[in-house]
């Protein structure tokens, strides 16, 4: 294991609600963290700022910054606060508006804005967008129709065949460099088609992952996502990634083997979601090393256990030859 300032470099890739959960645990470990975050969001406050100010969507970046920040609870609540009233202001979060303001102050440099806010929040690590510009995500459905817009795709009510982005997308050079220098690259957890794959579809990202000598692992979601991964097993998640970017992108698959209570199962079933099951035999047959553990935490929603997940990742890093 090569070391940088006595800490292994861990690069995590994703977005949505899954990535911040992982980072809240990982930031307490002795690692140098770089989070590469999707810029495909086009819904809510992020979508409005993206459209009106011609800037990358700040929402996923905001959540990652807060997860990695060394902040007081009141400051976190302030950054996550969404205005309820106000003509044009309702629905916006203060954190999104701060990033938008800093982007404007920086002459439109989204990356510089993130760096400045990272200093203010005493962020433990580095946060990078996959690209320094917005990405438009499209989905081709099984019936041949095409739906455009990250926020619209899960609402289409159709099974996804593939997702793709517009030509001309360019990766952030710093993100490529971080991947090449990483000791470990962690993909997920997060929405398969709208948080994970949008990052991997940016030209140069997958190539950099393949070229890196890092340990590579994929963290599978604990529950299926209605309108996106209905009925998917862990093997289906892996196959979708294979179909989009090719095989052999990672060596480890981290899956949940904890049981969900009947009460919680019923609650999720009403929304069309179910636990993601897996076959260790099938995953192993494809050449993956499977790490299974009870990774569940329930607090209004099912989430990965951040502390346990970060310890698993540290163990994986520790076995690197």
Q: Are residues 236 and 97 in the same domain?
A: no
Q: In terms of Cα–Cα distance, which of 120, 129, 113, 115 is closest to 78?
A: 120
Report the share of the chain in percent with pLDDT over 70.
98
Q: Which residues pair with 256 in a beta bridge?
A: 293
CB 242 within 8 A of CB 196: no
Q: Are residues 47 and 31 in the same domain?
A: no
Q: Are residues 214 and 259 in the same domain?
A: yes
Q: Are residues 19 and 76 in the same domain?
A: no
- CA–CA–CA angle 128, 172, 153 (5° rounding): 75
pLDDT in tens, 79-115: 889 998 888 888 899 999 999 999 999 999 999 999 9
pTM (2 decimals)?
Answer: 0.93
Mark which of 107, 129, 151 sits at the end of a domain.
129
CATH number for position 306: 3.40.50.10680
Q: Which strands form 252-256's sheet, in the order they lie side by side?
A: 126-129, 32-37, 9-14, 184-187, 215-219, 252-256, 289-293
Q: Is the pLDDT of residue 68 over 60?
A: yes
Instruction: For residue 124, give its domain range.
Output: 42-129
Mark which of 78, 106, 129 sits at the end of a domain.
129
3-state secondary structure of 185: strand
Specify the number of domains making up the chain.
2
Specify the residue for token string 């997920």.
188
Q: In terms of Cα–Cα distance, which of 35, 59, 218 is closest to 151?
A: 59
Total number of residues shown for the chain: 321
pLDDT score of 78: 87
Q: Are residues 154 and 279 in the same domain?
A: yes
Q: Is the pLDDT of residue 5 over 70?
A: no
Q: Are residues 1 and 146 in the same domain?
A: yes
pLDDT score of 172: 96
Q: Is the pLDDT of residue 1 over 60?
A: no
pLDDT in tens, 277-310: 999 999 999 999 999 999 999 888 889 999 999 9
């Amino acid at each position: 294991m090569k070391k940088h300032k006595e800490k292994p470099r861990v690069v995590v890739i994703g977005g949505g609600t899954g990535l911040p959960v992982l980072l809240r645990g990982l930031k307490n470990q002795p690692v140098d963290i770089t989070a590469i975050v999707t810029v495909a969001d086009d819904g809510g406050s992020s979508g409005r700022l993206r459209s009106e100010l011609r800037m990358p969507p700040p929402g996923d970046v905001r959540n990652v910054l807060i997860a990695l920040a060394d902040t007081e609870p009141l400051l976190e609540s302030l950054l996550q606060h969404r205005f309820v009233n106000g003509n044009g202001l309702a629905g916006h979060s203060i954190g999104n508006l701060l990033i938008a303001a800093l982007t404007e102050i920086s002459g439109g440099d989204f990356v510089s804005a993130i760096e400045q806010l990272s200093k203010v929040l005493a962020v433990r690590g580095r946060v990078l967008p996959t690209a320094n510009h917005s990405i438009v995500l499209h989905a081709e459905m099984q019936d041949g129709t095409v739906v455009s817009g990250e926020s619209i795709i899960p609402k289409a009510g159709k099974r996804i065949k593939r997702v793709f982005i517009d030509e001309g997308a360019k990766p952030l050079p710093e993100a490529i460099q971080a991947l090449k220098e990483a000791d470990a690259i962690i993909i997920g957890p997060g929405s398969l088609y709208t948080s994970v794959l949008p990052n991997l579809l940016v030209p140069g990202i997958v190539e950099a992952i393949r070229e890196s000598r890092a340990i590579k692992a994929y963290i599978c979601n604990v529950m299926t996502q209605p309108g996106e991964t209905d009925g998917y097993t862990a093997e289906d998640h892996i196959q979708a990634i294979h179909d989009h970017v090719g095989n052999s992108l990672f060596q480890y698959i981290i899956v949940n083997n904890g049981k969900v209570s009947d009460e919680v199962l019923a609650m999720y079933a009403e929304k069309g979601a179910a636990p993601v099951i897996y076959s260790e035999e099938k995953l192993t047959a494809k050449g993956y090393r499977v790490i299974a553990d009870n990774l569940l935490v329930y607090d209004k929603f099912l989430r990965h256990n951040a502390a346990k997940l970060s310890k698993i990742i540290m163990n994986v890093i520790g076995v690197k030859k």
